[in-house]
Amino acid sequence: GAVVSQHPSWVICKSGTSVKIECRSLDFQATTMFWYRQFPKQSLMLMATSNEGSKATYEQGVEKDKFLINHASLTLSTLTVTSAHPEDSSFYICSAETGYYNEQFFGPGTRLTVL
Amino acid sequence: KNQVEQSPQSLIILEGKNCTLQCNYTVSPFSNLRWYKQDTGRGPVSLTIMTFSENTKSNGRYTATLDADTKQSSLHITASQLSDSASYICVVSAPQAGTALIFGKGTTLSVSS
């Protein structure tokens, strides 16, 4: 089946620093990838839709200057959390879209902790 | 308003027992309905995906049903195992609604020995 990887799986950083999270589709090409964040005991919340070769589309309330998304190739999208603050601590999950149903295959997630 | 409601919020069952999780949605029209399993600290994994014309779909011990008239879906788990302990999320795809996927809040299932 379609496999999506994320790196790193967890990261701890100091407040004010920037953190980059990579999302890769390992065995398929994905024109569209998605970035979600999930707080404890909550459902996934879509942050942005990432399209290869074009600017990402951000959901209402998500700061595009804080959460920089780059979809440089059909197998890689990156999310950079700039000037991270403790309130940015969360579980970030990416997904890549493929197939007849435009099914989304999710990565394993990245746990970000900002001290 | 497009919504996906799941019940129960949480469920505890004994190993080997069966259980059924419910999903009601108000999304219309929709493309397909999906059930995902999410282990703690992991990304969701797809169990089933059904279009509006499909009534049932199975994946091993997991069987999903869909009634597009009543806008209800269920996920039945047979002969539960400890490894079934996870959050089960119902997701509706409705591109026409302007949002690619609409997520339910999930049902947390705990299987005990």
Give the pLDDT of chain B (113 residues) as one tens digit per residue: 778 999 999 999 999 999 999 999 998 778 889 999 999 999 999 999 999 889 999 999 999 999 999 999 999 999 999 999 999 999 998 876 555 788 999 999 999 99
- Which H/E stretch holds residue B25? strand B19-25
Check if B101 contacts A (Cβ < 8 Å): yes
Beta bridge partners of residue A55, listed in sequence order:
none
Structure tokens at A12: 């701890």
Size of interface A-B (CB pairs under 8 A): 45
Q: Per residue in A16-61, pLDDT tens? A: 999 999 999 999 998 899 999 999 888 899 999 998 888 899 999 9
Q: How many CA atoms lie within 13 A of B110 on its CB side?
A: 5
Contact A102 B51 (CB under 8 A): no
Structure tokens at B86: 């996870």
Contact A109 B41 (CB under 8 A): yes
Q: Tell me which residue in A43, A49, A111 faces B100 most closely, judged by beta carbons.
A: A49
